[in-house]
Structure 1
Amino acid sequence: MKKWMIILSLFLLTGCWDKIELEEQAFVVVVGLDKGENGLLDVTYQIANPQVGSTDRSKADKEKAYEIVTLSAPNLTVATQITNVSVTRNITLSHVKALIVGEELAKDNMFLHISETITKERGLRENVLFLVSKEKASEFIKHNKTPFETRPHKFYDLMGQRWKETGFVPLSTYQMYLKNTQHDAGAFLAIYSTAKNRKQEAKKEEDENVAGEVKIRSGSHTQSIGSVVFKNGKAIDKLTGEETRLALMLQHDSDVQEWTTSFTDPIQTKEAIGTRIIIEKKAKINVNTKKSSPVITATVPVKVDIVSVPSLVNYSTNLEHGEKLKSHIEKELERKTDNVVKKSQNELKVDIFEFYYRARRKFLTMKQYERYNWMKSYPNATVIIDYEVELYQFGEQVLPTNRQRVRD
């Protein structure tokens, strides 16, 4: 009996032969990719120290929260192995939160090939955040200071939630990049970021900027606003925060539910009215593909909260003024969206609104759809966008302040 128990225990113990202790692991939380010399790839790893910021912090008071390592290699797999030349622990990519690509590399023809080789890296998850940095990715990782978050991975977790709420950037992942590239019909919008302080004059409206143009006085210079447009796997141009928001409003899988912006006061044109745009229903989009040039019609229902009226014009109880404001907001949204549509057709020559999802349903087979060639058909399409605005709330103080009464 003892003999059989010894033999059985040997089988049970064999499952631990390749185990690696936790203290032997080096968890990479951010991977940066840049264009290197002689056709090589510059890879940057931000490796987290799990003790810093945890309950075991007393043992790591003098230790850094992370370590940054940059090296050149033919691909990501080789780079991961070479890292162990200077890092004693086993490099693992299973906890990577963000994949950051330098803008120079994103615009290079070789990036599509590089992105395909990344899929062969077993440890890297495909749902990691996908960002394009204005500067080199290595510089972004180095200068990205997170004053409120000791652990670097927490920054990307929380920022992902903020991006959903503001709509300043699309919520882009590496998996979405691969999916849209394989479709060969539309564009992929990636998060645009920078971590360097660029002393530029900000534009009039807060959402008319891209990363690096927003004037913020703070300890951290990291900014994420606007998006990078990828066509056939390669970055070709950028959209501002406002253009990104308008594009997301028409995409079928967007998570943006509300965002704040301002409109010119239709009565007191020198003033601006602060609003909150609420998106409760998806846009109703129809695509007619019976002709060689498609006809696209979209109706976008939105609710608008009036946040501030500096002119003190009564838009809440005065029906005539309220109707004028409603019509003005509709026309402004339609005008701005038409400008983004024209940019996508004349400059970018690619569908950034994902209209091709609706167009594909009009064909019985994939071969018919492929023969229609949406990439070439879309620039000649007729696109009609209509907004249906409902003035929803005017705040707790419905009526504007009576200035004469205040003076009295």
Structure 2
Amino acid sequence: MKKWILVLSLFLLTGCWDKIELEEQAFVVVVGLDKGKNGMLDVTYQIANPQVGSTDRSKAEKEKAFEIVTLSAPNLAVATQLANVSITRNVSLSHVKALIVGEELAKDNMFLHISETITKERGLRENVLFLVSKENASSFIRNNKTPFETRPHKFYDLMGQRWKETGFVPLSMYQMYLKNTQHDAGAFLAIYGTAQETKQRIKKEEDENVAGEVKIRSGSNTQSIGSVVFKNGKAIGKLTGEETRLTLLLQQDSDVDELTTAFTDPVKTNNTIGTRVYIEKKAKIKVNTIKSSPVITASVPVKVDLVSVPSLVNYSTNTENGDRLKSHIEKELERKTDKVVKKSQEKLKVDIFEFYYLARRKFLTMKQYEAYNWMENYPKATINIHYEVELYQFGEQVLPTNRQRVRD
């Protein structure tokens, strides 16, 4: 009996034969991809030092928080092995938080093939953050200064959380890119960012910019605003922060529920009114595919809080002014959304609003839907967008300040 117990214990102990100690691992937190020379791929790894920023910091006082390595290889798998030429630890992709792709590579036809080979890489998770950088990905990673985060992975964790609160960038995951590319009907929106300093700033409203155009004074030049539009796996254009917001308002699977923006004062047009827009209900969208040119109608209900009214016009208790403001906001939203719709049909020629999800339900079989060819018919569609605005709250001080009384 004792012999059998001894033999059985030997089988149980064999499970640790391929173990790797934690100190032997090099955890990559960011992978950058750029177009190299002669068909090669330039791969950048940002490798975190797990001791820096942790309770074990005293043992790594003179060590850097991370190491950045860039090398050329035919694909990601070969690059990971080549990285061990200069790195003594085992390079692991199991903790990658973000995949950064240079804009030049994203626009290249070869990127779709590269993205397919990435899925075969063992250990790399599909739910990593997907970001397109204005400059090369290697430059973005090296110049991305995060003054509040010692550990580099925290920057990308928090960036992914902020999209819901601002709507300036879309929710952009690598697995979503793969999913939308396979649909061959709509577009994929990726986060657009930059870490390089732009000397010439474009004077626009706060959300009418893309990354690198926002005038902000900070110790870091990193900006993430706007989105890159992918069609058939290839980048074909960009949306500003405002255009991205309006697009997310119409997408059925978007989780953005609150936006802060400004509108022109309808009474005193030289001023603007600060507002907070709430999206409590999804847009009601109808798609008619009886004819080859689809007809799309959308009704978007939103609630609007007045955050600031510099003109001191009474919009809270004056019914006439309140109705005028409500109508003005509806028309402004419709006008701006119509411009984005026109851009998607005439310039991008792709459904960025994901209307095809609803169009697909109109067909009994997938063959019928594929024969309809939504990608080809979408640019010819008639699209009508209507906003239903409800003035919700006016702040703690309902009535505007009486300037005459203040002078007295």
CA distance in 2, matches of 1:79, 1:310: 57
CA distance in 1, matches of 2:57, 2:236: 45
Q: Which residue of 2 aligns with 1:406?
A: 406
RMSD: 0.7
Q: Which residue of 2 aligns with 1:94?
A: 94
Cα deviation for residue 285 of structure 1 reads 0.2
Cα deviation for residue 316 of structure 1 reads 0.3
Q: Give the AA of the match of 1:64.
A: K
TM-score w.r.t. length of structure 2: 0.99
Cα deviation for residue 306 of structure 1 reads 0.3
What SS does the aligned partner of 2:392 have?
strand
CA distance in 2, matches of 1:132, 1:372: 32
CA distance in 1, matches of 2:382, 2:86: 58
Cα deviation for residue 7 of structure 1 reads 1.3
Post-superposition Cα deviations, 1:126-176, rounded to whole Å, max 9, x if no partner, equal: 000000000000000000011000000011111111111100000100000
Cα deviation for residue 3 of structure 1 reads 2.4
CA distance in 1, matches of 2:6, 2:177: 53
Contact kept, 8 Å, 1:195 with 1:223, in 2: the verdict is: yes
CA distance in 2, matches of 1:397, 1:146: 38
Contact kept, 8 Å, 1:33 with 1:102, in 2: the verdict is: yes
Determine whether 1:56 maps to 2:61.
no
Contact kept, 8 Å, 1:351 with 1:378, in 2: the verdict is: yes
Q: Which ranges of structure 1 fall in alignment gaps of 5 or more residues?
A: none
Q: Which residue of 2 aligns with 1:183?
A: 183
Cα deviation for residue 321 of structure 1 reads 0.1
Give the number of aligned pairs.
Answer: 408
CA distance in 1, matches of 2:270, 2:349: 36
Q: Which residue of 2 aligns with 1:142?
A: 142
Cα deviation for residue 12 of structure 1 reads 1.2
Contact kept, 8 Å, 1:200 with 1:215, in 2: the verdict is: no
Post-superposition Cα deviations, 1:367-390, rounded to whole Å, max 9, x if no partner, equal: 000010000000000000000000
CA distance in 2, matches of 1:188, 1:377: 18
Q: Which residue of 2 aligns with 1:262?
A: 262
Cα deviation for residue 6 of structure 1 reads 2.2
Cα deviation for residue 106 of structure 1 reads 0.2
Q: Which residue of 2 aligns with 1:173?
A: 173
Q: Which residue of 1 aligns with 2:40?
A: 40
Q: Which residue of 2 aligns with 1:156?
A: 156
Cα deviation for residue 237 of structure 1 reads 0.5
Greater shift, 4-13 or 395-404, is seen at 4-13
Cα deviation for residue 9 of structure 1 reads 1.8
Post-superposition Cα deviations, 1:191-250, rounded to whole Å, max 9, x if no partner, equal: 000011112224331000000000111111110000000011000100000000000100
Cα deviation for residue 302 of structure 1 reads 0.2
Q: Give the AA of the match of 1:152.
A: P
CA distance in 1, matches of 2:380, 2:300: 22
Q: Which residue of 1 aligns with 2:104?
A: 104
Contact kept, 8 Å, 1:227 with 1:244, in 2: the verdict is: yes
Cα deviation for residue 4 of structure 1 reads 2.5
Determine whether 1:237 maps to 2:222.
no
CA distance in 2, matches of 1:392, 1:2: 78
TM-score w.r.t. length of structure 1: 0.99
What SS does the aligned partner of 1:304 have?
strand
CA distance in 1, matches of 2:177, 2:366: 21
CA distance in 2, matches of 1:337, 1:298: 11
What SS does the aligned partner of 1:395 have?
coil
Q: Give the AA of the match of 2:47.
A: I
Contact kept, 8 Å, 1:199 with 1:215, in 2: the verdict is: no
Q: Give the AA of the match of 1:225.
A: I
Determine whether 1:329 maps to 2:332.
no
Q: Which residue of 1 aligns with 2:349?
A: 349
Cα deviation for residue 310 of structure 1 reads 0.5
Determine whether 1:317 maps to 2:317.
yes
What SS does the aligned partner of 2:280 have?
coil
Q: Give the AA of the match of 2:110.
A: M
Identity of aligned residues (%): 86
Q: Which residue of 2 aligns with 1:133?
A: 133
Q: Give the AA of the match of 1:10.
A: L
Q: Give the AA of the match of 1:267.
A: V
Q: Give the AA of the match of 1:91.
A: V
Post-superposition Cα deviations, 1:11-43, rounded to whole Å, max 9, x if no partner, equal: 111111011111111100000000000000000
CA distance in 2, matches of 1:216, 1:131: 21
Cα deviation for residue 365 of structure 1 reads 0.3
Q: Which residue of 2 aligns with 1:307?
A: 307
CA distance in 1, matches of 2:198, 2:279: 33
What SS does the aligned partner of 1:359 have?
helix
Q: Which residue of 1 aligns with 2:219?
A: 219
Q: Which residue of 1 aligns with 2:122?
A: 122
Cα deviation for residue 60 of structure 1 reads 0.6
CA distance in 2, matches of 1:201, 1:50: 38
